[in-house]
Amino acid sequence: MQKNYRRCISCRLTAPKESFLRVVRSYPDDQIKVGSGMGRSAYLCPDKNCLEVAQKKNRLRKSLRINVPEKIYSDLGKQ
């Protein structure tokens, strides 16, 4: 992968990180945020299908290693 490129956890597309939605499990309080923060992160395409697949197959939970509340999925759907 090239520098500053990331991979979507749902469709496995590789692209510049600015073209993805970022979900972060912040350190040390383990809160999940959309967009910014320091900690473990996962990237999703801004496509409704990628979000649905990620939710159905629990890809965010697996990638972030923490349970993801439904509110995060609804926030991602709005963006």
Could you state, in order of their start, the residue ranges of all structural domains in the chain? 5-78
Distance (Å, rounded) from C-alpha 16 to C-alpha 31? 25
Q: Is the separation of the CB atoms in 46 and 76 below 8 Å? A: no
* pLDDT tens, position by position, 1-56: 678 999 999 999 999 999 999 999 998 888 999 988 899 999 999 999 999 999 99
Domain 5-78 has CATH 3.40.50.620: no
Q: Is the separation of the CB atoms in 23 and 42 below 8 Å? A: yes
The pLDDT, as a whole number, for residue 1 is 62
Distance (Å, rounded) from C-alpha 18 to C-alpha 13? 13
Mean pLDDT of 48-77: 93
pTM of the entire structure?
0.89
